[in-house]
């Protein structure tokens, strides 16, 4: 018998990780992971940055409970943590008994142990539907193609006000029409599930910038690592994944620089070239993210709860919300519908 | 004998014969050059039944002893055995050796009664082919009416192959249609012989429970309660057309889904990953109870993917990580020189603690590091979710080939079912994917490594070791 000789292969660490500014101040770029047309640039706290109050927030995966749906469009949530406040992510949805398949329209702040009634939720099930038991997740997220409309209809009441958008969304994906999100999710579940496994989080990660076929589609920042670990698979599968599938259906290609294999000298040379091409690609992605983070967004303060300020952002096709604890952004979700934009781009090209 | 043809057999053995036009010719060549290897392959659970049928067809032309072949045939399930023997009929193979081989396998089968009761038509087709139409007709006649001449005939032609003559005779009576009323033919006979009497079903009383029940079910379907649904459906179609189909569902034996069971090492590792029980991989490997296998003298490298996705979810929870770790731990016992390059994981695999799946999947860097140690083969044990620039492994291997490095690289993917779709998870078209469902698959991995170290012409002394590694489990 031999003795097992093992060595841990370390990911190539960038000598000086890119530190972001503006909206993402205090964060730096980590490894880039990709699967198909979906790509995620990981965010982690920049070296030497104080985590501050970030660690005190509870994870929605563990502590966000849907208590009841007293009437259509109204949902009662509870933070089951008795010590930590909780930020319910934007556009979180529930497909489970007693929930009648609702989704929220904005980010919510819940104090420790607090039960919060929100009246501006959406019903995402126009007809009777089943449960997605296979998903094994406590919640899901509205697909990217619906989030802009969902955010614009916050603070309004009317449970069916997203049905038309869901209808045209499912139509785009070539599945049954109707204001019924599950009809889109169920037939695509087998293609969405691998995204959950493939887009792995890396140690220390608290957020990511999502690219679809090389175009930046959104940035998501969580308060801390456990929060991110719970939210990341949901974002990959339900929010950004469907947009990647649509891009694939439209024949879009992955934007990636091939490894130059001409005149290779030896394995060291091959390793160097691999490292270089990866660094270049990561740097170009980080540049795009930094450009977005430094935009002068229109900002509208929505509410102040438990010392946390929720602000809605807008700039051209970009919209989203951030939650600040004093000056520090502890939660951010800023996105654009790249699928709709690429459709518009094609029309512009056709018009000449 | 060519090393490549054994490799090709290992690559394709799980696929049906029709999957590739080359498979048939390759099996025939294998039967000629390595008949002993092919005999063992006949009893292998992982080889596709259609390939086994082709192997048998090749082996009847070889000089391998009949006893050896029958021994392997007896290891097959009823369904597989009939499929393999029916291959002789479909290939129109006859002659003394075919007849003797087929009848020894069938008449001497320890479960002949059950086989006849459950698969009568298929069994009759095979026996009719082996004996010939006229002999089978005589056999039927002599089975119906006992006489000294008839008994001698039966003994010479059929029952001498049986291990238990009385039971075999009973089973052949059942196959001959004695003991129960045959269905009326759908078309009336063109020639009617008025004095020919049909034998009455009351003449036979079967001692075998399976035959008795099968015969009774032909008279009354309810008597077949607990028999396989497939058989009852067939009987309903022939004898009881007026019985509603739902009755068959009520009467049929419940279909027991074959539960998959992990091996002891994988189970221990899964438990450890969930509850942090074990102290090291070596402790887990000590649970292994597999057969003794030869040690392979080869310098090999394993890239072990323990990234976050190896945790998987649902019924696959921790399956890729646990099975991957089990394979590496067991492989270490079978390979003389093995270097492990771990990517991802909470800690390093170094004899202290079990690494938990974590981090991203940078397989390309790991393959490069493995290649630097100049191994004879590299196994990449991964779930296939290469996410650190998807496609980099393929490019790195293309680079290695440009540098003239011909090191064998294979992707080993732990799966929970052989049918799992890995089309989007193949690292490169250059890299064959080896699906492993169970830790017993370690033998195949070792066999692949052994073959990787062999020259084009396979050393005759190596083949028995390959055989043991492949088929011992």
| Superfamily of structural domain B264-471 | Response regulator (3.40.50.2300)
Residue B29 pLDDT exceeds 80: yes
H helical segments located in A129-239: 144-152, 163-172, 182-198, 225-234
Name the pTM for this structure.
0.86
Report pLDDT digits (tens) over A332-345. Answer: 999 999 877 776 65
- Give DSSP secondary structure letters for B267-279: HHHHHHHHH---S
The closest CB to that of A34, out of B313, B387, B403, belongs to B387
**How many DSSP H helices and E strands does chain A contain?**
8, 18
The burial of B246, by beta-carbon neighbours within 10 Å (0-12 exposed, 13-18 middle, 19 or more buried), is given as exposed
State the Cα–Cα distance between residues A280 and B344, nearest whole angstrom. Answer: 23
Q: Which chain A residue shows the shortest CA-CA distance from B373?
A: A267
From chain B, the residues in CB contact with A258 under 8 A are 395
- Any idea which residue has 């990911």 for tokens? A11
Nearest CA to B308 out of A42, A200, A229 is that of: A200
pLDDT, residue A99, reads: 52
Mean pLDDT throughout B153-159? 95
Report pLDDT digits (tens) over B229-272. Answer: 989 999 998 889 889 989 998 999 888 777 778 999 999 999 99
Residue A131 pLDDT exceeds 60: no
Q: How confident is the model at residue A18 (pLDDT cuts 50, 70, 90)?
A: confident
pLDDT, residue A350, reads: 61
Distance from CA of B2 to the nearest CA of A (A): 30
The burial of B125, by beta-carbon neighbours within 10 Å (0-12 exposed, 13-18 middle, 19 or more buried), is given as middle
H-run or E-run covering A74: strand A74-79
The neighbouring-strand residues paired with A58 are A86
Report pLDDT digits (tens) over B30-69. Answer: 999 999 999 999 999 899 999 999 999 999 999 999 999 9
Q: Which chain A residue shows the shortest CA-CA distance from B421?
A: A190
Query: How many CB pairs lie under 8 A apart between chains A and B?
Result: 142
Which tokens hold the place of B438? 């169970």
Report pLDDT digits (tens) over B321-339. Answer: 999 999 999 999 999 999 9
Query: Which residue in A42, A270, A278, A280 has the most chain B C-beta atoms within 10 A of its own C-beta, making it the best mutation to test that interface?
Result: A270
Residue B88 pLDDT exceeds 90: yes
The closest CB to that of B365, out of A2, A12, A198, belongs to A12
State the Cα–Cα distance between residues A143 and B257, nearest whole angstrom. Answer: 37
pLDDT, residue A307, reads: 92
The burial of B28, by beta-carbon neighbours within 10 Å (0-12 exposed, 13-18 middle, 19 or more buried), is given as middle
Residue B389 pLDDT exceeds 80: yes
pLDDT, residue B448, reads: 95
Nearest CA to A105 out of A170, A65, A156 is that of: A156
Q: How confident is the model at residue B189 (pLDDT cuts 50, 70, 90)?
A: low
User: Can you say how many angstroms the Cα of residue B32 is from the centroid of all Cα atoms in its chain?
Assistant: 22
Residue ranges of domains in chain B: 3-175, 209-251, 264-471
pLDDT, residue A134, reads: 41
φ, ψ dihedrals at B185, nearest 5°: -65, 150
Distance from CA of B322 to the nearest CA of A (A): 16
Q: Which chain A residue shows the shortest CA-CA distance from B345?
A: A8
Residue A304 pLDDT exceeds 80: yes
State the Cα–Cα distance between residues B381 and B328, nearest whole angstrom. Answer: 8
Question: Between chains, do A4 and B335 touch, taking CB under 8 Å as contact?
Answer: no
Report pLDDT digits (tens) over A101-128. Answer: 888 999 999 999 999 999 988 888 766 5
- Give DSSP secondary structure letters for B333-362: HHEEEEEEEEEE-SS--SSSS-PPP-S---
φ, ψ dihedrals at B234, nearest 5°: -65, -45
DSSP E strand boundaries for B317-450: 335-344, 377-381, 408-414, 433-436
In contact, B6 and B436? CB cutoff 8 Å? no
Report pLDDT digits (tens) over A163-218. Answer: 888 888 888 878 777 777 878 888 888 889 899 999 999 989 999 999 999 999 99
Percent of chain A exceeding pLDDT 70 equals: 89
Percent of chain A exceeding pLDDT 90 equals: 58
**Residues 6 or more apart in contact with residue B237 via CB below 8 angstroms:** none
φ, ψ dihedrals at A311, nearest 5°: -125, 140
Nearest CA to A234 out of A44, A93, A24, A38 is that of: A93
Residue A135 pLDDT exceeds 50: no
């Amino acid at each position: 018998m031999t003795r097992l000789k093992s060595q841990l292969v370390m990911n190539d660490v960038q000598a000086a990780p890119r530190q972001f500014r503006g909206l993402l101040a205090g964060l730096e770029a980590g490894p880039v992971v990709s699967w198909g047309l979906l790509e995620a640039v990981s965010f982690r706290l920049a070296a030497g940055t104080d985590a501050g109050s970030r660690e005190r927030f509870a994870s929605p995966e563990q502590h966000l409970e849907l208590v009841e749906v007293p009437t259509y469009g109204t949902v009662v949530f509870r933070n089951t943590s008795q010590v930590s406040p909780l930020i319910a992510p934007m556009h979180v949805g529930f497909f489970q008994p007693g929930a009648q398949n609702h989704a929220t329209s904005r980010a919510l702040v819940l104090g420790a142990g607090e039960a919060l009634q929100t009246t501006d939720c959406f019903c995402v099930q126009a007809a009777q539907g089943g449960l997605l038991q296979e998903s094994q997740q406590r919640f899901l997220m509205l697909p990217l193609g619906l989030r802009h409309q969902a955010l614009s209809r916050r603070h309004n009441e009317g449970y069916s006000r997203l049905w038309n958008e869901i209808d045209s969304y499912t139509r785009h994906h070539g599945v049954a029409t109707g204001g019924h999100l599950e009809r889109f999710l169920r037939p695509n579940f087998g293609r969405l599930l691998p995204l959950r496994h493939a887009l792995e989080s890396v140690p220390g990660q608290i957020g990511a910038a999502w690219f679809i076929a090389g175009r930046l589609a959104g940035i998501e920042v969580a308060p801390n690592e456990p929060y991110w670990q719970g939210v990341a698979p949901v974002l990959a599968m339900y929010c950004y994944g469907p947009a990647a599938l649509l891009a694939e259906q439209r024949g879009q290609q992955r934007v990636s620089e091939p490894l130059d294999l001409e005149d290779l000298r030896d394995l060291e040379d091959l390793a160097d070239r691999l490292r270089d091409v990866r660094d270049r690609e990561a740097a170009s992605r980080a540049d795009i993210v930094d450009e977005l983070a430094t935009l002068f967004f229109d900002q509208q303060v929505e509410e102040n709860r438990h010392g946390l300020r929720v602000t809605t952002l807008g700039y051209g096709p970009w919209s989203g919300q951030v939650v600040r604890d004093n000056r520090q952004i502890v939660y951010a979700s800023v996105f654009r519908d790249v699928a709709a934009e690429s459709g518009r781009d094609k029309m512009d090209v056709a018009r000449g | 004998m060519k090393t490549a043809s054994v490799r090709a057999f290992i690559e394709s053995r799980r696929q049906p014969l029709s999957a590739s036009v080359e498979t048939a010719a390759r099996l025939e060549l294998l039967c000629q050059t390595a008949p002993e290897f092919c005999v063992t392959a006949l009893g292998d659970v992982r080889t596709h039944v259609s390939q086994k049928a082709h192997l048998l067809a090749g082996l009847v032309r070889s000089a391998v002893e009949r006893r050896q072949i029958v021994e392997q045939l007896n290891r097959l399930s009823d369904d597989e055995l009939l499929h393999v023997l029916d291959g002789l009929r479909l290939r129109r193979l006859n002659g003394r050796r075919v007849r003797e081989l087929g009848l020894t396998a069938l008449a001497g089968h320890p479960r002949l009664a059950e086989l006849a009761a459950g698969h009568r038509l298929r069994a009759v087709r095979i026996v009719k082919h082996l004996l010939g139409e006229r002999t089978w007709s005589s056999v039927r006649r002599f089975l119906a009416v006992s006489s000294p001449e008839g008994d001698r005939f039966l003994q010479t032609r059929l029952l001498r192959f049986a291990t238990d003559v009385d039971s075999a005779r009973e089973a052949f009576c059942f196959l001959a249609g004695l003991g129960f009323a045959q269905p009326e033919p759908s078309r009336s006979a063109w020639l009617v012989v008025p004095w020919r009497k049909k034998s009455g079903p009351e003449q036979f009383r079967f001692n075998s429970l399976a035959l008795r029940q099968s015969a009774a079910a032909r008279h009354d379907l309810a008597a077949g309660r607990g028999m396989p649904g497939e058989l009852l459906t067939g009987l309903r179609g022939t004898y009881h057309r007026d019985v509603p189909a739902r009755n068959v569902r009520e009467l049929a034996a419940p279909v027991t889904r074959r539960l998959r069971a992990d091996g002891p090492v994988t189970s221990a590792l899964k438990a450890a990953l969930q509850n942090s029980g074990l102290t090291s991989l070596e402790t887990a490997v000590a649970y292994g109870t597999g057969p003794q296998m030869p040690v392979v003298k080869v310098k090999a490298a394993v890239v072990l993917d323990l990234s976050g996705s190896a945790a998987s979810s649902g019924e696959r929870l921790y399956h890729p990580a646990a099975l991957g770790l089990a394979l590496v731990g067991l492989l270490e016992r079978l390979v003389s020189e093995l270097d492990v390059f771990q990517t991802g994981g909470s800690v390093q695999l170094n004899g202290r603690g079990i690494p938990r799946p974590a981090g991203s999947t940078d397989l390309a860097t790991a393959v490069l590091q493995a290649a630097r140690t100049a191994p004879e083969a590299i196994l990449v044990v991964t779930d296939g979710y290469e996410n650190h620039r998807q496609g980099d492994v393929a490019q790195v291997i293309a680079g290695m080939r440009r540098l003239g490095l011909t090191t064998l690289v294979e992707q080993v993917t732990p799966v929970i079912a052989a049918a799992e779709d890995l089309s989007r998870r193949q690292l490169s078209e250059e890299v064959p994917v080896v699906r492993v469902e169970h830790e017993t698959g370690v033998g195949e991995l070792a066999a692949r490594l052994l073959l990787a170290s062999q020259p084009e012409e396979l050393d005759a002394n190596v083949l028995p070791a390959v055989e043991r590694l492949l088929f011992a489990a």
